[in-house]
Amino acid sequence: MKKIVVTVLAVFSAAFVFAQMDAQGNSSLTEPDPTVIGRDSAKEALREISVDKFEREGSWNVYMSPDAGVITGRLFDGSPAGKEPLKDSGTSQQGTENSGEEADTHVLGIKAEFFRRGVNSIYIRAARPLPIEGVTKTVSVWAAGRNQNHSLYLLVEDYFGNDFELYMGSLEFSGWKKLTVAVPPTPDGEHGIVQQSVYHGDRPGLRIIGFRIDCNPAIAIGKFYVYFDDLRAVTDLYDLENRDADDMLDNW
């Protein structure tokens, strides 16, 4: 009987702690927590960094099958109202520049005009892969999908050049929304998404190739609009920040 009582009390205590953490604003229910992804020691130096702000024309290419429809991509003035500036960043949310930081006043807009219903995919690819130093924990992007039930995937390349896709979520929501995906750690350094190697420590571990939107064939008709802004990553820079100044680079 005592064991049953102790077990019940333990369960209720855990539920209380979980509820208390949620009441204090913990976002674990909506976003992955980068502080616990792949953590096996206290040697972490997590930093949120900007990967791309979608400010330069020609830096992103969009395409779909010519048999499926016509696609167009361009920059527009604007920014999500709920977006917060990076900590220790010289750029304000409105895009004013301080300390030489790049302005943040544009978003990437994409319009797809479907010929007919069907199984279609839309690709949004960076003109060049976007490297992220350190060990990436999460990747986030702001998106406005016009409440269309299409699926968004993040396309990445790992340390060894292997391609992977990570599901970011459905675009079935109104207005802007921040979508975040966790990068699963490799179990043994050889399988899965490998981001670092003891043999070559000077190469960025993850490169963002772009995005893919898998369209719901039931609603992929007429025109579809989607917008992106503020691509960020939370990465562990412990090894880079703790490299000795007199240490040689193994890049010869």
Q: Is the pTM of this model over 0.75?
A: yes
Distance from C-alpha of 114 to C-alpha of 10, rounded to nearest angstrom: 56
pLDDT tens-digit profile of 134-170?
899 999 999 999 999 999 999 999 988 899 999 999 9
Q: Are strands 135-144 and 177-182 parallel, antiparallel or unpaired?
A: antiparallel
Q: What is the pLDDT at residue 99?
A: 44
- The answer to whether the beta carbons of residues 126 and 132 sit under 8 Å apart is no
User: How many C-alpha atoms does 146 have within 13 Å on its Cβ side?
Assistant: 11
- Residue numbers of the chain with a pLDDT score lower than 70: 1-30, 35, 38-43, 88-101, 199-204, 241-244, 250-251
Q: What is the pLDDT at residue 39?
A: 60
Give per-residue burial for 61-79: e unless 16+ CB within 10 Å, then b.
ebebeeebbebebebeeeb
Rounding to the nearest 10 degrees, give the CA dihedral for residues 141, 146, 152, 157.
-40
pLDDT tens-digit profile of 51-65?
999 999 999 999 999
Distance from C-alpha of 167 to C-alpha of 211, rounded to nearest angstrom: 10
